[in-house]
Amino acid sequence: METQVKELMKWKNEMSEWKTDVQRDIVDLSRQSHKECLIISGPAISRPEKNENATEMFCGLIEKKFGINVPKSDVSNLGRILKQNGNSSGKE
């Protein structure tokens, strides 16, 4: 009987860990389903600098223009596109 109780407790702990993993995966999938694409252009975009932090620049522009604070950790992919007239370029 004692062996069965130990086995059940071990199984319970394994199930608890599995539940935590599944919950983490659900949250991750939920976040991935809410990804958006935003393109900003115009004179507010400065020319690229050698060691610029494009994520910081992007978040600052969004806050200045729309009054919305976008945490840097929410920006997963960011790039600059070079136009023929040279207004913007680079990639981070």
Which pTM does this prediction carry? 0.49
Residue 76 CB-density burial (10 A; 0-12 exposed, 13-18 middle, 19+ buried): exposed
Same domain for 91 and 63? yes
Same domain for 30 and 50? no
Total number of domains in the chain: 2
Whether residue 91 sits in one domain with residue 46: yes
CA atoms of 5 and 13, how far apart (whole Å): 12
Same domain, 45 and 82: yes
Banded pLDDT at 9 (limits 50, 70, 90): very high
Asked whether residue 61 falls in the same domain as residue 88, the answer is yes
pLDDT, residue 82, reads 66
Structural domain boundaries enclosing 2: 1-35
Q: How far apart are CA 50 and CA 92, in angstroms?
A: 12
**Residues 14 and 45 occupy one common structural domain:** no
Over the stretch 53-69, which tens digit does the pLDDT of each residue have?
A: 889 988 998 999 899 99
* 18 shares a domain with 2: yes
